[in-house]
Amino acid sequence: MYYIVRTEKSFEQATADLDSAIKHQGFGVLHIHDLAAALRGKGVPFDEECKIFEVCNPVYAAKVLSSNMRLNMALPCRISVFTEKGKTEIGLIRPVRMLSALSRDPELIQIAQEVEEKTIQMIDEAK
């Protein structure tokens, strides 16, 4: 269900490298959620770091939405850089697994496979 790698890089370096890898693979960053900062900003004690990148490739997104507009709720893809017990990790929920749970359309599964390959390449490039 997940693809997660551990890196020896700092959280900050892994975050910067993921940003570069996303662009290198032809995707764009729609937004970066700094979940840890948001929690701390609301007065919640939180020791870990977590940034969630919302990434999208408009060609893939249009194909998915043209097939089934309800799948907008599964977009955009999210890739997280986070710390756990002092170790930096980068991960995502595999698009094939997620879309397979939402649709049986073989064309959509093929699109999800292509997106999964690209997003895994992003993670591997950033680690």
pLDDT digits (tens, 9 = 90+) for 76-116: 999 999 999 999 999 999 999 999 999 999 999 999 999 99
Whether domain 2-126 has CATH 2.10.25.10: the reply is: no
Residue spans per domain, the chain: 2-126
On whether the pTM is more than 0.85, the answer is: yes
Give the span between the Cα atoms of 1 and 96, in whole angstroms: 9
Give the span between the Cα atoms of 60 and 73, in whole angstroms: 15
Report which of 23, 18, 24 is spatially closest to residue 92, judged by C-alpha positions: 18
What are residue 2's DSSP bridge partners? 93
